Amino acid sequence: MLFTCYGCRGSYPVIDTNFMRYGGNTTCYFIEEKDTKIIIDGGSGITLLGKFLFENYFPNPIDINIFISHGHWDHIMGFPLFEPFYYDNNTFRMYAPGNDESDVAKMMVKLLEVSTAPVPFENLEAKISTKNLKSNAKCDCKDLTVETYQLNHPSIDLGYRVTSKITGKSITVLTDIAPIEDNYLSWGWKELALGREKQFEQEYYEGLVKFVTKTDLLIMDTHFTDEDIKGKRHWGHSTPTMAMTLAKDGMCDNLMLTHHNPEYCDDDMDEIFKESKKRAKNLGINLFIAVERESHEV
């Protein structure tokens, strides 16, 4: 499987000479196995991916599955300018967490309506189907299988575990995610946990550990440092320390930090990576950091 990062910035895109090395575009990941292609999230980075696809495939048709973690702007803002949506020989299947309050088709219609986008969703040339997903679902995508697990974040947010049917290897993407202890962020979870809070937290964490167990590359939102998360746990993000704890509990050898804070410049990111790498080594974890346009073979 080839994993390429087209955007790893959290919250909003940054255009600044001090942010060039890690990249300023928001979340977009691309996974390829033989002829099967998967996109996770359509942040501003998806516009770069659109150019790559256009340059390498046009006028041949492309067929891609798109998985959206959740509907926050930094994960969807690139869709209106994703070039492959504008050609009729392309096919897309879009998946996102859904229920009555959150629906991928409704979200796309809202995002690409005539007053905010050049072409409304229903008039895009490409063939686009939409499907709502729940936690613990499994999708078959030719050479890849994609499984879901709902994450603790203010929204309905899904983590995705992508497994190759050819090699059995997997990549798991958890974005965005916060620790759950006394910190119920997902819609409806506070009510769901009422009266059995400790058990609810334990079940959630055990499920999360099971979901990531022995994945070959764990990619996780580590938006904050240990210092900066103080007073902001309800924002819905994690730290490198939290990611290393989960990697350890889930027996994951390879961990990648992502969803970089838009207030951390390249020098800050260098420092965070250097310091985290030292700690990861002591724990027996190979630590990577997401960098825009960088690929990893898994």
Smallest gap, in angstroms, from Cβ of residue 62 to Zn ion? 26
The one-letter amino acid at 147: E
Interface residues toward Zn ion, by CB under 5 A:
10, 72, 74, 176
Smallest gap, in angstroms, from Cβ of residue 153 to Zn ion? 6
Contacts 24+ apart (CB under 8 A), 131-137: 131/93, 131/94, 131/95, 131/98, 131/104, 132/95, 132/96, 132/97, 132/98, 132/99, 132/102, 132/103, 132/104, 133/67, 133/95, 133/96, 133/97, 133/98, 133/158, 134/97, 134/98, 134/99, 135/97
Q: Which is nearer to Zn ion, 66 or 141 (CB)?
A: 66
Q: Which is nearer to Zn ion, 10 or 250 (CB)?
A: 10
Smallest gap, in angstroms, from Cβ of residue 223 to Zn ion? 8
Q: Which is nearer to Zn ion, 36 or 69 (CB)?
A: 69
Smallest gap, in angstroms, from Cβ of residue 169 to Zn ion? 26
Smallest gap, in angstroms, from Cβ of residue 221 to Zn ion? 7
Smallest gap, in angstroms, from Cβ of residue 175 to Zn ion? 6
Q: Which is nearer to Zn ion, 67 or 143 (CB)?
A: 67
Q: Which is nearer to Zn ion, 163 or 261 (CB)?
A: 261
Q: Which is nearer to Zn ion, 74 or 147 (CB)?
A: 74
Which residue has 């516009």 as its token pair?
A: 47
Smallest gap, in angstroms, from Cβ of residue 72 to Zn ion? 4
Q: Which is nearer to Zn ion, 99 or 202 (CB)?
A: 99
- Token pair recorded at residue 195: 């009266």
The closest residue (CB) to Zn ion is 72
Q: Which is nearer to Zn ion, 234 or 279 (CB)?
A: 234
Smallest gap, in angstroms, from Cβ of residue 155 to Zn ion? 6
